Chain A
Amino acid sequence: MPAAERTLTIKIREAAWLATFQDLGREQSEALGVPCGGAADQHSASVANILVGNPRTAAGIEIMGGRFTFTTSKAVLIAVTGAPADVTVNGNKVKMWEPVCVPAKGRVVIANARGGMRNYLAFSGSLVTEHFMGSAAPEARMGFPQQISAGQHVELKTSYAGFEHPYLTQPLFRLPVPVPSFEHPVWTIDIVVGPETDAAQGIRELLSSREYTVTAKSNHVGLRLDGPVVHPEGLGEIVSHGVPIGAFEIPHGDELIILGRYRTLTAGYPIVAFATKASLPMLGQARPGQRMTFRWVSQEEAVEAQHEAQRLLNALESRVQSLFGAIDLPHHSRLVPSQAAA
């Protein structure tokens, strides 16, 4: 059996441009006017937790830009996912998208992220942090910033007590990890029709044939893209209504907005498409300058893609569970597959 749980301290040395506690977001909060929030790239956040034997919904750290460095006096088990980046433990390069055994007196650096916007860092165990409406995800507007700064000491409760492989400094786990590709300079994002697609004559052809570029005005509320748009015609005033994550809005100006997880919950702009649920994690990684095109799919294809994404996560989760069980590493015993955000 894994060792008893103990509490240790993670000392944050460098805090990137922005680092926050993060998880998959709030459940049932939107009925109360609070956006679900949570990791922009839910796939990477989920995989990081799965790789350290945590429930997918455990709190981790979301890192954007620059260098993030921490030290630990005791051994910890971590995983880093998200945009390709350089990760080192005591100066030695280690792999992303794998469990990483950090020895006592370890120094971990995550830097030079490229091709995407965010990295996710998970620790085996639970990080000690505040929760608001059941989630560690930031809600800055309501006074819950959750930002992590250099010099901060973060407490971790973990049953991991170190793991020594007889021959290798880092054991090879060979897990079936679904790693998204960040290589292509132009991303293809799957979309389904929206209520005002037909009213915007020509938008179908534009979205599937032209290139759109993410601009610097983008944030966690939504991505703003440069590219050709047409304004829907013949619509009366659209009264405020709820808008899902991934809605493609055309505001008054010539731009396209793709709403993110911290969107304002209601809006009155025409909606010409929706990103599929399975394509949202990639959108959560888009940086200013990122180019993308769109591909129309049917609702059935959209659901099928989400099925496949979840199947891969479930397969990884059960492999980690049997592996960690076999080599006596702590793991969260999964009761039912989470139907939540991921």
Chain B
Amino acid sequence: MSTHPAPGQLIPLSDIQDIKAVPFGDSALMVSIASGTVEERQSGSRKLREVLQDMRPHGLLDVVAGVDSILVEFDCLAVSHGQLAQTIRLAAASRSFEGDGPSPTGQHFVIPMVVNESFAPDLADVAAELGISKEAVLAHLEASTLTINLLASAMAPMMGRVEFPGQVSRCREPRTNVDPGSVMVAGTNAIIQPFPGPTGWKVIGRTPLTICDIREEPPTSFKPGDTVRFKVVPESDWERLDGQFLRTDSYTIEEEH
């Protein structure tokens, strides 16, 4: 579609609604936007999640973000599937959804990353798949202002959209253990691995910063709607930054103009 709204522009929900709500067991609903482009459905479900978390309808227990859907978990003794689905549709209809883009109250983070053979095992693959140089892959990443769409497993920030010239596929065989701090891409999304664990995303760098620490309150400084820029830094910066908790002022880029 060519009617992609500018950031901050308001579009009435009636343009993108048509909300599908399917029972997922006796205590959950799978809610998604039934029509529109992939991007519209993704940003629509993100907005819907924000609306729900903001208004917290009666009986709502938790919300799990998927790629283009939300799982709404509820107390089946407090509300039924039908009642909650109706509440969700009304809530959505009574609000204008903001256009795609960062939240107006969001914070901005600059995240330094180091790129070398061992930190970026998939960089050459990504470059080959996109048909550009490794340097160009990193340049596209650095040039993109990313919005955190959701916190995935173990609070991993999932971000879009990286201005790559194409889509990056996932690893054919997922890695069983990827180190924390790994900066990873798939499709036109980026994510940072907060704790060691398996992943099928392609690893193209690593940040020395600690992005999630359960001893901090809250355990991450970022939240959905915040924006991120990556900055490739020399390996010599690693030691100085290693293990520091990511905050908005952890790393600053000198003004370029």
Which residues of A approach B to under 8 Å, CB–CB? 27-34, 36, 132-133, 139, 141-144, 192, 194-195, 239-244, 246-247, 264-266, 271, 274-277, 299, 302-303, 306-307, 310, 339-340
Contacts and interface: CB of A to CB of B under 8 A. Distances in A.
B24 A274 contact: yes
Interface stretch (B72-80, B100-108, B230-238, B241-249): B72-80
Given A142-B212, A241-B67, A242-B69, A277 B151 contact: no
B163 to A, nearest CB: 22
Given A31-B49, A34-B154, A195 B22 contact: yes
B152 A266 contact: yes
Most buried by A among B28, B53, B150, B195: B28
B202 interface: no
B69 A241 contact: yes
A299 B152 contact: no
Chain B: interface size category? 35 or more
B77 A276 contact: no
A232 B24 CA distance: 17
19 contacts: A27-B62, A31-B49, A31-B63, A33-B150, A33-B151, A33-B153, A33-B155, A33-B156, A142-B155, A143-B214, A241-B66, A241-B68, A241-B71, A243-B64, A244-B24, A274-B25, A299-B23, A303-B76, A339-B77
Nearest to B213: A143
A141 B195 contact: yes
Given A30-B73, A239-B66, A266-B67, 14 more contacts: A132-B214, A133-B219, A142-B214, A192-B26, A242-B30, A242-B64, A242-B69, A244-B71, A246-B25, A266-B64, A274-B24, A276-B26, A302-B76, A339-B77
Contact of B66 (A242, A247, A310, A339): A242
A195 B24 contact: yes
A135 to B, nearest CB: 12
B154 A192 contact: no
A339 B62 contact: no
B65 A31 contact: yes
B27 interface: yes
A275 B70 CA distance: 20
A27 B61 contact: yes
Contacts of A266: 64-67, 152-153
Interface of B: 22-28, 30, 49, 53, 59, 61-71, 73, 75-78, 80-81, 150-156, 194-195, 197, 212, 214, 219-220
A247 B77 contact: no
Contacts of A32: 151, 155, 220
A247 B214 contact: no
B210 to A, nearest CB: 11
B68 A142 contact: no
Given A31-B65, A240-B67, A275 B25 contact: yes
Nearest to A244: B28
Contacts of A276: 25-26
Contacts of B156: 33
Contact of B214 (A144, A264, A299): A144
B218 to A, nearest CB: 8
A231 to B, nearest CB: 20
A241 B63 CA distance: 11
B70 to A, nearest CB: 7
B39 to A, nearest CB: 14
B61 to A, nearest CB: 7
A33 B152 CA distance: 5
A47 to B, nearest CB: 18
